[in-house]
Structure 1
Amino acid sequence: MRGKGFAVRIGVFLAALVVFGCSVADYGITDSAVYVGSESCKECHENEYSNYSKYSKKAHSARSVKLMATDLDPDELKECFACHATGYGKPGGFISFEETPHLADAGCEVCHGPGSLHAEDGDPELIKRKMTIEECETCHNAERVENFNFKPLIFGGAH
Protein backbone atom coordinates (compact mmCIF):
# COMPACT_ATOMS: atom_id res chain seq x y z
CA MET A 1 0.00 0.00 0.00
CA ARG A 2 1.11 3.52 -0.72
CA GLY A 3 1.26 6.19 1.96
CA LYS A 4 -0.89 9.26 2.38
CA GLY A 5 1.61 11.39 0.43
CA PHE A 6 1.14 9.23 -2.68
CA ALA A 7 -2.65 9.63 -2.54
CA VAL A 8 -2.29 13.38 -2.05
CA ARG A 9 0.01 13.67 -5.11
CA ILE A 10 -2.44 11.71 -7.27
CA GLY A 11 -5.31 13.86 -5.96
CA VAL A 12 -3.46 17.07 -6.77
CA PHE A 13 -2.62 15.80 -10.24
CA LEU A 14 -6.23 14.85 -10.99
CA ALA A 15 -7.50 18.15 -9.57
CA ALA A 16 -5.11 20.04 -11.86
CA LEU A 17 -6.51 18.20 -14.86
CA VAL A 18 -10.03 19.23 -13.85
CA VAL A 19 -9.05 22.87 -13.19
CA PHE A 20 -7.41 23.14 -16.60
CA GLY A 21 -10.34 21.43 -18.33
CA CYS A 22 -8.47 18.31 -19.31
CA SER A 23 -9.88 14.80 -19.45
CA VAL A 24 -7.79 11.94 -18.08
CA ALA A 25 -9.10 9.83 -20.97
CA ASP A 26 -7.57 12.32 -23.42
CA TYR A 27 -4.16 11.58 -21.97
CA GLY A 28 -4.23 7.80 -22.06
CA ILE A 29 -4.64 7.33 -18.35
CA THR A 30 -6.54 4.13 -17.77
CA ASP A 31 -9.22 4.58 -15.11
CA SER A 32 -7.31 7.64 -13.87
CA ALA A 33 -4.23 5.55 -13.04
CA VAL A 34 -0.83 7.21 -13.25
CA TYR A 35 2.68 5.82 -13.71
CA VAL A 36 4.45 4.58 -10.60
CA GLY A 37 7.53 2.77 -11.96
CA SER A 38 8.54 -0.90 -12.07
CA GLU A 39 9.84 -0.93 -8.50
CA SER A 40 6.18 -0.68 -7.43
CA CYS A 41 5.52 -4.03 -9.12
CA LYS A 42 8.37 -5.83 -7.37
CA GLU A 43 6.65 -6.55 -4.04
CA CYS A 44 3.79 -8.61 -5.51
CA HIS A 45 5.40 -9.80 -8.75
CA GLU A 46 8.85 -10.91 -7.57
CA ASN A 47 9.54 -13.49 -10.30
CA GLU A 48 8.38 -11.24 -13.13
CA TYR A 49 10.34 -8.29 -11.77
CA SER A 50 13.44 -10.45 -11.31
CA ASN A 51 13.22 -11.79 -14.88
CA TYR A 52 12.61 -8.29 -16.23
CA SER A 53 15.58 -6.89 -14.31
CA LYS A 54 17.96 -9.69 -15.30
CA TYR A 55 16.97 -10.58 -18.84
CA SER A 56 15.04 -7.78 -20.47
CA LYS A 57 16.93 -5.16 -22.43
CA LYS A 58 14.02 -2.84 -21.63
CA ALA A 59 15.11 -2.80 -17.99
CA HIS A 60 18.27 -0.97 -19.01
CA SER A 61 17.03 1.03 -21.99
CA ALA A 62 17.92 4.38 -20.43
CA ARG A 63 21.62 3.49 -20.70
CA SER A 64 21.42 3.44 -24.50
CA VAL A 65 19.62 6.76 -24.62
CA LYS A 66 22.12 8.38 -22.23
CA LEU A 67 25.02 7.15 -24.36
CA MET A 68 23.56 8.66 -27.52
CA ALA A 69 21.91 11.77 -26.03
CA THR A 70 24.78 14.17 -26.67
CA ASP A 71 24.72 13.31 -30.40
CA LEU A 72 20.96 13.83 -30.78
CA ASP A 73 18.88 16.93 -31.29
CA PRO A 74 15.87 17.45 -28.98
CA ASP A 75 13.37 15.97 -31.48
CA GLU A 76 15.47 12.85 -31.99
CA LEU A 77 15.80 12.46 -28.24
CA LYS A 78 12.01 12.66 -27.85
CA GLU A 79 11.65 9.84 -30.35
CA CYS A 80 14.01 7.72 -28.25
CA PHE A 81 12.10 8.45 -25.04
CA ALA A 82 8.84 7.40 -26.68
CA CYS A 83 9.99 3.75 -26.66
CA HIS A 84 12.88 3.69 -24.20
CA ALA A 85 11.17 5.35 -21.21
CA THR A 86 7.92 4.74 -19.34
CA GLY A 87 4.97 7.00 -20.10
CA TYR A 88 6.91 9.66 -21.98
CA GLY A 89 4.61 12.43 -23.17
CA LYS A 90 1.77 11.32 -20.90
CA PRO A 91 0.74 12.81 -17.55
CA GLY A 92 2.68 11.25 -14.75
CA GLY A 93 5.11 9.67 -17.22
CA PHE A 94 8.83 10.14 -17.80
CA ILE A 95 9.92 13.77 -18.00
CA SER A 96 13.69 13.65 -17.61
CA PHE A 97 16.47 11.61 -16.02
CA GLU A 98 16.62 14.16 -13.20
CA GLU A 99 12.88 14.60 -12.50
CA THR A 100 11.59 11.06 -13.03
CA PRO A 101 14.51 8.61 -12.80
CA HIS A 102 12.16 5.78 -11.73
CA LEU A 103 10.54 5.95 -15.20
CA ALA A 104 13.74 6.29 -17.27
CA ASP A 105 13.75 2.68 -18.50
CA ALA A 106 11.02 0.97 -20.51
CA GLY A 107 9.36 -0.62 -17.52
CA CYS A 108 6.37 -2.82 -16.79
CA GLU A 109 3.92 0.02 -17.42
CA VAL A 110 5.05 0.48 -21.03
CA CYS A 111 3.11 -2.69 -21.84
CA HIS A 112 0.71 -2.97 -18.91
CA GLY A 113 -0.30 0.68 -18.70
CA PRO A 114 -0.20 3.11 -15.76
CA GLY A 115 -0.19 1.05 -12.58
CA SER A 116 -1.06 3.29 -9.63
CA LEU A 117 -4.57 1.93 -9.10
CA HIS A 118 -3.46 -1.68 -9.46
CA ALA A 119 -0.48 -1.11 -7.14
CA GLU A 120 -2.75 0.48 -4.55
CA ASP A 121 -5.59 -2.06 -4.73
CA GLY A 122 -4.05 -5.23 -6.17
CA ASP A 123 -7.12 -5.82 -8.35
CA PRO A 124 -5.94 -7.48 -11.60
CA GLU A 125 -8.75 -5.73 -13.48
CA LEU A 126 -7.01 -2.39 -12.83
CA ILE A 127 -4.07 -3.18 -15.12
CA LYS A 128 -3.74 -4.39 -18.71
CA ARG A 129 -2.98 -8.11 -18.63
CA LYS A 130 -3.29 -9.21 -22.26
CA MET A 131 -1.07 -7.61 -24.87
CA THR A 132 -1.63 -7.59 -28.60
CA ILE A 133 0.96 -7.69 -31.34
CA GLU A 134 -0.29 -4.30 -32.56
CA GLU A 135 0.64 -2.73 -29.22
CA CYS A 136 4.15 -4.17 -29.45
CA GLU A 137 4.51 -2.79 -32.97
CA THR A 138 4.27 0.75 -31.65
CA CYS A 139 7.97 0.41 -30.92
CA HIS A 140 8.91 -2.93 -32.48
CA ASN A 141 8.12 -2.13 -36.10
CA ALA A 142 9.76 -2.61 -39.49
CA GLU A 143 11.19 0.92 -39.63
CA ARG A 144 12.99 0.54 -36.32
CA VAL A 145 14.17 -2.97 -37.13
CA GLU A 146 15.77 -1.65 -40.31
CA ASN A 147 17.27 1.43 -38.64
CA PHE A 148 18.75 -0.36 -35.66
CA ASN A 149 19.29 -3.86 -37.08
CA PHE A 150 17.52 -5.69 -34.29
CA LYS A 151 14.88 -8.37 -34.26
CA PRO A 152 12.10 -7.80 -31.75
CA LEU A 153 11.26 -10.68 -29.45
CA ILE A 154 7.53 -10.27 -29.11
CA PHE A 155 6.46 -11.60 -25.70
CA GLY A 156 10.12 -12.27 -24.93
CA GLY A 157 10.37 -9.51 -22.34
CA ALA A 158 9.96 -10.20 -18.66
CA HIS A 159 7.59 -13.14 -18.79
Structure 2
Amino acid sequence: MKGLISWGASIWLLLVPCIAAGADGGQFVGSKTCAECHEDQYENYQKYSKKAHSWESVEIMLPDLKPDEAQKCFECHTTGHGQPGGFVSYEQTPHMADVGCETCHGPGSLHAEDGDPELIQRTPTIDQCRTCHSEERVGDFNFKPLLFSGAH
Protein backbone atom coordinates (compact mmCIF):
# COMPACT_ATOMS: atom_id res chain seq x y z
CA MET A 1 0.00 0.00 0.00
CA LYS A 2 2.87 2.39 0.55
CA GLY A 3 3.18 2.85 -3.20
CA LEU A 4 -0.37 4.14 -3.61
CA ILE A 5 0.45 7.82 -3.30
CA SER A 6 1.25 9.14 -6.73
CA TRP A 7 -0.98 12.19 -7.20
CA GLY A 8 0.22 15.37 -8.87
CA ALA A 9 2.46 17.84 -7.10
CA SER A 10 -0.29 20.44 -6.71
CA ILE A 11 -2.07 18.43 -4.00
CA TRP A 12 1.00 18.73 -1.77
CA LEU A 13 1.15 22.51 -1.77
CA LEU A 14 -1.42 23.19 0.94
CA LEU A 15 -0.22 24.38 4.33
CA VAL A 16 0.07 22.10 7.33
CA PRO A 17 -1.60 22.87 10.64
CA CYS A 18 1.54 22.57 12.71
CA ILE A 19 4.48 24.77 13.55
CA ALA A 20 5.35 26.09 10.10
CA ALA A 21 8.82 26.69 8.77
CA GLY A 22 9.39 30.35 8.11
CA ALA A 23 12.02 32.28 6.22
CA ASP A 24 14.25 32.23 9.28
CA GLY A 25 12.71 29.14 10.91
CA GLY A 26 14.73 26.58 9.02
CA GLN A 27 13.28 23.46 7.51
CA PHE A 28 12.12 20.04 8.59
CA VAL A 29 14.88 17.42 8.81
CA GLY A 30 13.21 14.35 10.34
CA SER A 31 13.22 12.70 13.75
CA LYS A 32 16.34 10.63 13.11
CA THR A 33 18.29 13.89 13.01
CA CYS A 34 16.86 14.73 16.43
CA ALA A 35 17.86 11.28 17.68
CA GLU A 36 21.53 12.04 17.05
CA CYS A 37 21.56 14.20 20.21
CA HIS A 38 18.30 13.19 21.90
CA GLU A 39 18.59 9.41 21.73
CA ASP A 40 16.64 8.56 24.90
CA GLN A 41 13.74 10.86 24.00
CA TYR A 42 13.64 9.47 20.46
CA GLU A 43 13.65 5.84 21.66
CA ASN A 44 10.89 6.53 24.20
CA TYR A 45 8.83 8.35 21.61
CA GLN A 46 9.19 5.53 19.10
CA LYS A 47 8.34 2.92 21.71
CA TYR A 48 5.48 4.58 23.61
CA SER A 49 3.82 7.20 21.42
CA LYS A 50 1.00 6.38 19.02
CA LYS A 51 1.98 9.50 17.08
CA ALA A 52 5.27 7.89 16.10
CA HIS A 53 3.31 5.31 14.12
CA SER A 54 0.54 7.51 12.77
CA TRP A 55 1.21 6.57 9.14
CA GLU A 56 -0.17 3.09 9.82
CA SER A 57 -3.67 4.57 10.20
CA VAL A 58 -3.35 6.55 6.98
CA GLU A 59 -2.04 3.55 5.09
CA ILE A 60 -5.04 1.45 6.10
CA MET A 61 -7.49 4.10 4.91
CA LEU A 62 -5.72 5.36 1.76
CA PRO A 63 -7.26 2.90 -0.71
CA ASP A 64 -10.72 4.23 0.15
CA LEU A 65 -9.84 7.95 0.12
CA LYS A 66 -9.99 10.56 -2.61
CA PRO A 67 -6.86 12.74 -2.96
CA ASP A 68 -8.47 15.68 -1.14
CA GLU A 69 -9.53 13.39 1.71
CA ALA A 70 -6.01 11.98 1.97
CA GLN A 71 -4.73 15.55 2.10
CA LYS A 72 -6.65 16.09 5.32
CA CYS A 73 -5.04 12.96 6.80
CA PHE A 74 -1.55 14.07 5.81
CA GLU A 75 -2.02 17.38 7.62
CA CYS A 76 -2.02 15.68 11.02
CA HIS A 77 -0.53 12.23 10.45
CA THR A 78 2.80 13.26 8.89
CA THR A 79 5.58 15.72 9.71
CA GLY A 80 5.89 19.08 7.97
CA HIS A 81 3.42 18.35 5.19
CA GLY A 82 3.65 21.09 2.58
CA GLN A 83 6.54 22.84 4.33
CA PRO A 84 10.25 23.05 3.38
CA GLY A 85 11.79 19.65 4.03
CA GLY A 86 8.48 18.16 5.15
CA PHE A 87 6.31 15.29 3.94
CA VAL A 88 5.61 15.23 0.21
CA SER A 89 4.63 11.61 -0.44
CA TYR A 90 5.58 8.25 0.98
CA GLU A 91 7.77 7.56 -2.05
CA GLN A 92 9.68 10.85 -1.79
CA THR A 93 9.81 11.40 1.97
CA PRO A 94 9.12 8.16 3.87
CA HIS A 95 11.08 9.47 6.88
CA MET A 96 8.41 12.15 7.33
CA ALA A 97 5.42 9.77 7.07
CA ASP A 98 4.64 9.75 10.78
CA VAL A 99 4.10 12.45 13.37
CA GLY A 100 7.67 13.17 14.38
CA CYS A 101 9.51 15.41 16.81
CA GLU A 102 9.21 18.47 14.59
CA THR A 103 5.42 18.33 14.41
CA CYS A 104 5.35 19.62 17.97
CA HIS A 105 8.77 21.23 18.26
CA GLY A 106 8.98 22.94 14.86
CA PRO A 107 11.48 22.66 12.03
CA GLY A 108 14.78 21.37 13.39
CA SER A 109 17.43 22.27 10.82
CA LEU A 110 18.73 25.40 12.57
CA HIS A 111 18.75 23.74 16.00
CA ALA A 112 20.45 20.62 14.60
CA GLU A 113 23.17 22.73 12.95
CA ASP A 114 23.82 24.99 15.94
CA GLY A 115 22.59 23.08 19.01
CA ASP A 116 21.15 26.30 20.45
CA PRO A 117 17.97 25.43 22.43
CA GLU A 118 16.54 28.83 21.47
CA LEU A 119 16.33 27.60 17.85
CA ILE A 120 13.62 25.03 18.59
CA GLN A 121 10.20 25.10 20.25
CA ARG A 122 11.05 23.34 23.52
CA THR A 123 7.54 23.21 24.96
CA PRO A 124 4.58 23.21 22.57
CA THR A 125 1.54 25.24 23.53
CA ILE A 126 -1.93 23.82 23.86
CA ASP A 127 -3.01 25.97 20.89
CA GLN A 128 -0.42 24.21 18.72
CA CYS A 129 -1.78 20.84 19.83
CA ARG A 130 -5.31 21.93 18.95
CA THR A 131 -4.46 22.28 15.27
CA CYS A 132 -4.86 18.50 15.10
CA HIS A 133 -6.33 17.57 18.48
CA SER A 134 -9.57 19.47 18.00
CA GLU A 135 -13.17 18.49 18.67
CA GLU A 136 -13.79 18.57 14.92
CA ARG A 137 -11.00 16.14 14.06
CA VAL A 138 -10.96 13.72 16.96
CA GLY A 139 -14.34 14.07 18.66
CA ASP A 140 -15.01 10.40 18.05
CA PHE A 141 -11.94 9.56 20.09
CA ASN A 142 -13.08 11.25 23.32
CA PHE A 143 -10.84 14.29 22.73
CA LYS A 144 -8.50 15.38 25.48
CA PRO A 145 -5.69 17.85 24.87
CA LEU A 146 -2.67 15.98 26.16
CA LEU A 147 0.15 18.50 26.09
CA PHE A 148 2.66 16.06 27.55
CA SER A 149 1.58 12.97 25.64
CA GLY A 150 4.79 12.71 23.64
CA ALA A 151 6.18 9.93 25.88
CA HIS A 152 9.46 11.74 26.41
Higher-RCO chain (CA-CA 8 Å, sequence separation at least 6): 2
Q: Relative to total residues, which structure has the larger helix share, 1 or 2? A: 1
> 1:31 deviation in Å?
2.1
**Gap regions ≥5 residues in structure 2:** 1-19
Q: Secondary structure at the match of 1:31?
A: coil
Residue 66 in structure 1 maps to residue 66 in structure 2:
no
TM-score computed with the length of structure 2 as normaliser = 0.81
Q: Helix, strand or coil for the counterpart of 2:54?
A: helix
Structure 1 match to 2:75: 82
Deviations 1:34-62 (A, max 9, x none): 11100001121111101110001111011
Matches within 5 A, 1:4-153: 28-29=21-22, 31-146=24-139, 148-152=140-144, 153=146
The residue type paired with residue 26 of structure 2 is A
Report the identity percentage.
61
CA RMSD of aligned residues (A): 1.5
- Letter of the structure 2 residue corresponding to residue 95 of structure 1: V
Shift of 1:32: 4.0
Distance 2:23 2:128 in 1: 15
Return the alpha-carbon distance in structure 1 between the equivalents of residues 127 and 136 of structure 2: 14
Report if aligned partners of 2:53, 2:98 keep a CA contact under 8 Å in 1.
Answer: yes
Larger Rg: 1
Ranges in structure 1 where 5+ consecutive residues have no aligned partner: 1-26
